[in-house]
Structure 1
Amino acid sequence: MKYKVVKKQNGSKRCIVCGEENELGLKASFYELENNELVAICKTKDWHQSYPGRVHGGMSASLLDETIGRAISINDQTIWGVTVSLELKYRKPVPTDCEIKVVGRITKENRRMFEGSGEIILPNGEVAVTATAKYMKLPVDKIVEGDFIEEEWIEVNDKEKVDYIEY
């Protein structure tokens, strides 16, 4: 299906998943879609590998954790999540040196917690990894010291504007 991009989310300077200044990171871009899902797009590199040609499972876990956790901010940018649990099922290898999509959505929410699910989608459309996760809701100043929003949270511009994402 093809979905309209509603908004591009900010990124971080040094995060392993979205950090623009992290030379070894994934540099994922996050897009809020009209169907209330969040999609991350990134290009895997050979330095993200475990076995040759395969992305390390921990990198897949990081991508899914970040994408599902960020999905809560689609409706409220003041909510941040701290991971309580993350469960993954590895179905197919995620190759290095290719562009992948990571989809996340919120499945349950109350005043203090939220739950979500997601998957990593390969270039051929196959699902490689699935995940479910639980998070505690916290304001960002309870998670990190200093002024994270001012010092670390940055607007990341695309080289080409993304209007639609298909998966």
Structure 2
Amino acid sequence: MKREILKKFNNSKLCLVCGMENELGLKARFYAMDHDEILAVCMPMEEHQSYPGRLHGGISAALLDETLGRAINLTEPDAFGVTIGLNLTYRLPVPLDREIHAVARITKNTHRIFEAEGEILLEDGRVAVEAKGRYVRMPAEKITDASPEEMGYHLYEGGDLKEFDL
């Protein structure tokens, strides 16, 4: 099913998951999709492996944690999610030699805490890894002393999508 991409989100400079200037990072790009879901897209490197040809489970966890935590940006663009709990189920190996897609959505949203769920999808649509997480909503200035400029937090060029086949 074709899904419409509504918006591209900011990245940072050095984050392991979204840092565009982190030589060993995933350089994941994030997009708002229709149906109130967020999409993460990245291309893993050999340095992200566990067994040869397989993405390390901790890297899968980091990608899903970031994607679930960013799902709040679908309705609250200036909010950040700080992880208070994350549960994963690994169903299938995630290959290293192709682009990875993670999708997430908010399942519960209260004044201070939100919950989200998501998955890493293989090319054929099968779910490789599932995640459920709980996050505290916080503004950036309560998380770090670094300014958005110091973090390199802005829209980076490239990787623009118009639609995604889910």
Q: What's the TM-score bracket when you normalise by the shorter of the two chains?
A: over 0.9
Contact 1:45 1:98 (C-alpha < 8 Å) held by counterparts: no
In 2, the alpha carbon distance for the partners of 1:83 and 1:120 equals 18
Supply the AA of the counterpart residue of 1:32: A
- Give the equivalent residue in structure 2 for 1:94: 94
- Give the equivalent residue in structure 1 for 2:58: 58
In 2, the alpha carbon distance for the partners of 1:146 and 1:30 equals 22
In 1, the alpha carbon distance for the partners of 2:154 and 2:16 equals 15
* Aligned structure 1 segments of 4 or more residues deviating by more than 3 angstroms: none
Unaligned runs of 5+ in 1: none
Cα RMSD between the aligned structures? 1.0
1:52-100 per-residue CA deviation (whole Å, 9 max, x = no partner) reads: 1111100000000000100101111121110000000000001112111
| TM-score, scaled to structure 2 | 0.96
- Give the equivalent residue in structure 1 for 2:6: 6
Contact 1:105 1:116 (C-alpha < 8 Å) held by counterparts: yes
Task: Answer yes or no: is 1:84 the counterpart of 2:81.
Answer: no
- Shift, 1:50, TM fit: 0.8
| TM-score, scaled to structure 1 | 0.95
Bigger drift between 58-67 and 74-83 goes to: 74-83
1:117-142 per-residue CA deviation (whole Å, 9 max, x = no partner) reads: 00001122211000000001111100
SS at match of 2:100: strand
Task: Answer yes or no: is 1:109 the counterpart of 2:125.
Answer: no
Contact 1:31 1:38 (C-alpha < 8 Å) held by counterparts: yes
Task: Answer yes or no: is 1:162 the counterpart of 2:161.
Answer: yes
Unaligned runs of 5+ in 2: none
- Shift, 1:47, TM fit: 0.9
- Give the equivalent residue in structure 2 for 1:49: 49
SS at match of 2:23: coil
In 2, the alpha carbon distance for the partners of 1:17 and 1:162 equals 19
SS at match of 1:39: strand
Contact 1:28 1:42 (C-alpha < 8 Å) held by counterparts: yes
